[in-house]
Chain A
Amino acid sequence: MNTMNSAIDQDVPVKDEPETRGGATFNDAELEGRTVGKPFADDPKFTLRDVEVFYGDARAIKGISLDIAKNEVIAFIGPSGCGKSTFLRCLNRMNDSIDICRVKGQLQLDGEDIYDAKRDVVELRARVGMVFQKPNPFPKSIYDNVAYGPRIHGLANRKSDLDDIVERSLRGAGLWNEVKDRLDSPGTGLSGGQQQRLCIARAIAVSPEVVLMDEPCSALDPIATARIEELIAELSQSYTIIIVTHSMQQAARVSDRTAYFHLGHLVEVNETNKVFTAPQHELTESYITGRFG
Chain B
Amino acid sequence: MQPGNLFPLVVVLIGIAFALGYARSRALATPLGGIRHLKSLPFYYAARASLWCGLPALIIFALWLGFEDKVIQTLVIGSLPADIQPDSPGRASLILSQISNVASGALSPEFVPEPIAGAADRLTALRAESKLMMTILVICVAILGAFVAWLRIAPHINARAKVESTLRKIFFMCAGLAILTTVGIIFSVIFETIHFFHKVSFLEFFFGTSWSPQTAIRADQVGSSGSFGMIPLFVGTLLISGIAMVVAVPVGLMSAIYLSEYASKRMRSIVKPLLELLAGVPTVVYGFFAALTVAPFIADAAGWLGLDASTESALAAGLVMGIMIIPFVSSLSDDVINAVPQTMRDGSLALGATQAETMTKVIFPAALPGIMGGILLAVSRAIGETMIVVMAAGLAANLTINPLEAVTTVTVQIVTLLTGDQEFDSAKTLSAFALGMMLFIVTLALNVIALHVVRKYREQYE
- The chain A residues found within 8 Å of chain B, CB to CB, are 92, 94, 97, 99, 121-126, 129-130, 132, 134, 136-140, 148-149, 152-153, 188, 199, 202-203, 206
- Distance of A206 Cα from B352 Cα, bound (Å): 9
- Distance of A137 Cα from B350 Cα, bound (Å): 12
CB of B362 within 8 Å of the partner chain: yes
- Interface residue ranges of B323-358 to A (CB < 8 Å): 341, 343-354, 357
CB pair B365 A139 closer than 8 Å: yes
The 8 closest A-B pairs by CB, nearest first: A136-B343, A126-B352, A130-B350, A125-B352, A149-B351, A136-B347, A122-B352, A139-B366
CB pair A99 B265 closer than 8 Å: yes
CB-CB nearest in chain B for A120: B352
Q: Chain B nearest CB: distance from A91 CB in Å?
A: 11
- State whether A138 and B348 are in contact (beta carbons under 8 Å apart), knowing that A99-B264, A152-B357 are contacts in the complex: yes
CB pair A148 B343 closer than 8 Å: no
- Distance of A126 Cα from B346 Cα, bound (Å): 13
CB pair B351 A129 closer than 8 Å: yes
Residues of A within 8 A of B352 (CB): 121-126, 149, 152-153, 206
CB pair B349 A134 closer than 8 Å: no
CB pair A132 B349 closer than 8 Å: no
The interface centre, meaning the residue of A126, A140, A148 with most chain B CB atoms within 10 A of its CB, is: A148
- Distance of A130 Cα from B345 Cα, bound (Å): 13
CB of B199 within 8 Å of the partner chain: no
Residues of B within 8 A of A121 (CB): 352
Q: Chain A nearest CB: distance from B271 CB in Å?
A: 16
CB pair A148 B265 closer than 8 Å: no
- Distance of A132 Cα from B264 Cα, bound (Å): 25
- Distance of A137 Cα from B346 Cα, bound (Å): 11
Q: Chain A nearest CB: distance from B355 CB in Å?
A: 9
CB of B361 within 8 Å of the partner chain: yes
CB of B5 within 8 Å of the partner chain: no
CB pair A125 B349 closer than 8 Å: yes
Per-residue contact bits, chain B 244-265, to A (CB 8 Å; 1 contact, 0 not):
0000000000000000000011
- Distance of A92 Cα from B348 Cα, bound (Å): 13
Per-residue contact bits, chain B 361-378, to A (CB 8 Å; 1 contact, 0 not):
110011000000000000
Residues of B within 8 A of A126 (CB): 351-352
- The number of chain B residues touching the other chain, given as a range, is 20 to 34
Chain B's interface: helix, strand, loop or mixed, by majority?
A: helix
- State whether A125 and B341 are in contact (beta carbons under 8 Å apart), knowing that A94-B346, A148-B361 are contacts in the complex: no
Q: Chain A nearest CB: distance from B256 CB in Å?
A: 18
Residues of B within 8 A of A99 (CB): 264-265
Residues of A within 8 A of B264 (CB): 99
- Distance of A236 Cα from B178 Cα, bound (Å): 66
CB pair A148 B344 closer than 8 Å: no
CB pair B350 A125 closer than 8 Å: yes
- State whether A94 and B357 are in contact (beta carbons under 8 Å apart), knowing that A136-B344, A139-B366 are contacts in the complex: no
CB-CB nearest in chain B for A139: B366
Q: 5 more A-B contacts (CB under 8 A) besides A132-B350, A138-B362, A148-B351?
A: A125-B351, A130-B346, A130-B350, A139-B366, A152-B353
6 examples of A-B residue contacts, CB within 8 angstroms? A122-B354, A125-B352, A136-B343, A148-B361, A149-B353, A206-B352
Q: Chain B nearest CB: distance from A56 CB in Å?
A: 13
CB pair B349 A97 closer than 8 Å: yes
CB of B460 within 8 Å of the partner chain: yes
- Distance of A203 Cα from B353 Cα, bound (Å): 12
- Distance of A122 Cα from B349 Cα, bound (Å): 8
Q: Chain A nearest CB: distance from B368 CB in Å?
A: 10
Residues of A within 8 A of B357 (CB): 152
CB pair A136 B351 closer than 8 Å: no
CB-CB nearest in chain B for A127: B352
Residues of A within 8 A of B343 (CB): 132, 134, 136
Residues of A within 8 A of B345 (CB): 97
Residues of A within 8 A of B361 (CB): 148, 152
Residues of A within 8 A of B348 (CB): 138, 148
CB pair B265 A203 closer than 8 Å: no
- Distance of A122 Cα from B362 Cα, bound (Å): 16
CB pair B347 A206 closer than 8 Å: no
Residues of B within 8 A of A206 (CB): 351-352
- Distance of A188 Cα from B353 Cα, bound (Å): 20
The interface centre, meaning the residue of B347, B353, B365 with most chain A CB atoms within 10 A of its CB, is: B347
Q: Chain B nearest CB: distance from A151 CB in Å?
A: 8
Q: Chain A nearest CB: distance from B76 CB in Å?
A: 72
Q: Chain B nearest CB: distance from A166 CB in Å?
A: 14
CB contact between A122 and one of B347, B353, B460 (< 8 Å): that residue = B353
CB pair A92 B460 closer than 8 Å: no
